[in-house]
Amino acid sequence: MALSEIEQAKRKAGYAAVDEYIQDGMVVGIGSGSTVVYAVERLVERVKTENLKVVCIPTSFQSTQLIVEGGLTLGDLSRYPDIDVDIDGADEVDDNLTLIKGGGGCHVQEKIVASCAKKLVIVADYRKDSHLLGEKWKKGIPLEVIPFAYVPVMKKLEGMGGKPTLRMAKNKAGPVVSDNGNFIVDVDFGLLEKPSELNQQIKMIPGVVETGLFINMAVKAYFGQADGTLVSRP
């Protein structure tokens, strides 16, 4: 079956990152989301054809499944706390490679794995490439929040000028629950001209476990384009 334009763009980005960054003997972080599926697809190909020895560290239940189903070597941070490169997706990327992540609710584990990696490489399609965060991604910044605290956290976010929404599940009654057993609150602050400052302010609210703002973490982003070409930054 022929892939759609967007899926082809995702595959272009995922394949490029694996081809440029993955080498034999590496410990590799495997992010979450639809574009990472293609990165893993390419990694499985290279492991088979080049007999690469790599250990893969998952960021979510989804990426654990991708690693296991692909026949790759599954590791964890307790045994491999130092990661060579982490390949992950993003909901939006700005000119400074600041990211919004967490549309899939995995941003806490994604950020932990990214913080252990020497390099964080982002794979995405052209729809995720923005000048400022909030330009294309309109669902807000995902926050993982302790369930006990979600109401006061949302009140404090409103006091900061944000518009918070408790993320509700689609196929179950009630809120989305993260892999860590917490709630996800999406908070809209519009265009983010100073994401680093905002990130610090949000993280100071008791009950916020982590934000979906990734500041000064990514070293490169690949964007597959609608015409089949590839753009990368920096």
Q: Are 107 and 186 in contact (CB under 8 A)?
A: no
Q: What is the dihedral of CA 120, 230, 137, 216, to 10 degrees?
A: 30
Q: Are 38 and 123 in contact (CB under 8 A)?
A: yes
Residue that has been written with the tokens 């900061």 in this structure: 160
Judging by beta carbons within 10 Å of its beta carbon (0-12, 13-18, 19+), is residue 134 exposed, middle or buried?
Answer: buried
Long-range contacts of 67-74 (CB under 8 A, 24+ apart): 67/30, 67/40, 70/40, 70/41, 70/43, 70/44, 71/44, 71/47, 72/40, 72/43, 72/44, 72/47
Say how far apart CA 138 and CA 48 lie, in whole Å: 40
SS3 for 156? helix
Q: Which residues participate in catalysis according to the annotation?
A: 110
